[in-house]
A and B are shown apart, each in its own frame.
Chain A
Amino acid sequence: MVTEILGSAATERARAFIEAQGLQFEPVFDDLVGIFEGGALVAIGARDRDVLKMFAIDPSRQGGALLGALVTELVRRGFAAGHEGFFVFTKPEHATSFEALNFELLASNGRAALLEHGRGLARYLEANGAAVREGANAAVVMNCNPFTLGHRHLVEEAAGRVDTLYAFVVREDRSAFPFDVRLRLAREGTSHLGNVHVLDTSRYAVSAVTFPAYFLKRADDAAAIQMELDLLLFAQRIAPFFRITRRFFGSEPYCPTTRAYNDAMRRLLPSFGIEPVEVARKEARGAPISASMVRAALRDGSSAGLEQWVPGTTAAFLSSEEGRAVQERLRKGEARDA
């Protein structure tokens, strides 16, 4: 029977079990469940929001029904907590064990595999079917925290060279500006362009699922694997659906993680028939515009000259009551600065 692991003594036991299997114990989770037999821990798994993780099963008990029992309990708890679908990262050799449980393989790069339970990607694509256009199409993926003249420049440059441009705004809500605001400002800031569709990435691009390291801001080996999975998912599943054959992105003078992601795009996308196109960043006052500069200025309360960095639509939001509340949160440092 699957039981919840509660209390520090039991959690320490779980940690020792996971580490004995050569895995890393991650202390961030909503649920940690295990299976005991005769007082001995034989299997363990965890859930962090809609991500299932830290599966470890005693080697002598692998290949049976324990994984199914763990996943059943974690999915049951996750559904009760309001989640529809669930993701799992695993080693490629374990992907088939999850596929047998009706997980669908989203991307695999030889070192890691990303799978999901619940047909989320299929539903996401179906929901966006009306936006699909024939022709030479391209994509940009942006966080827009908040939407700047830099974003507008990138979108204008790209839209001028293609039939239809899909501007995906990262849904992941770990930014100072909430997703609905980032999406709205991107729509308002590009409404003068008739061939631009501003869409929600859902969980399928640069999210805590495909790309957790982006939100941790470090460029290590795990980050490199996740960038690849993110791009494979884009190239193999998203781009073909939207008939995307080019991906535009801004040059990155500041952030090493984003620069590594740009390099990964140049390396990986061409083999899937997608041309990576780098656009030089728009400058103001002799420096490339970045959303983090805008946030820093807002945090310091030095909003003079902001109109050189953001379009009128974003400026209007910032002076609204809702916009002032975001600035207040920025100043108090409540919002994560991704």
Chain B
Amino acid sequence: MSIGKKAQAGTIQSSDLMVFVEPDAGLVIEIESTVKRQFEHLIRAKIEEILRGQGITAGRVRVSDRGALDYAIQARLETALQRASGE
């Protein structure tokens, strides 16, 4: 799978996250989170794991997180990626 166009998924409600993805030459992950200080590394690791699983090596992924659990991160990111691949 690849990021062919801009796409977005999720909400900015509590315990959720909003994901924005768009094409980029490199792989860029930007994280904003209300729990950034404690959990940024874990959020990043989860995102990297999902991208790896989908075989994505290029694109810009921005998340605006409000304390989402891993399941929510996975669901929102996979939805955004699916929309970005045009499927």
Contact = CB atoms under 8 A, between A and B. Distances in A.
Contact of A102 (B6, B8, B20, B33): B33
A102 B11 contact: no
B32 A68 contact: no
A68 B64 CA distance: 12
A102 B14 contact: no
Interface string B20-40: 100000000010111000000
A217 interface: no
Interface string A65-80: 1001101100110011
Question: 6 closest pairs, A vs B, by CB?
Answer: A72-B11, A68-B13, A102-B64, A102-B32, A79-B8, A101-B12
B14 A65 contact: yes
Interface string B67-84: 000000000000000000
Question: What range describes how many residues of B lie at the interface?
Answer: 10 to 19
Given A65-B14, A72-B18, A101-B12, 17 more contacts: A68-B14, A69-B11, A71-B12, A72-B12, A75-B12, A79-B6, A79-B8, A100-B34, A100-B66, A102-B12, A102-B32, A102-B33, A102-B34, A102-B66, A117-B64, A118-B32, A118-B62
B62 A69 contact: no
Contacts of B12: 68, 71-72, 75, 101-102
Interface of A: 65, 68-69, 71-72, 75-76, 79-80, 100-102, 117-119
A214 to B, nearest CB: 30
Contacts of A102: 12, 32-34, 64-66
B13 A72 contact: yes
Nearest to B22: A84
Nearest to A71: B12
Given A65-B13, A68-B14, A76 B8 contact: yes
A68 to B, nearest CB: 4
A215 B30 CA distance: 33
Nearest to A76: B8
Contact of B66 (A80, A101, A117): A101
Contacts of B14: 65, 68
A66 B6 CA distance: 27
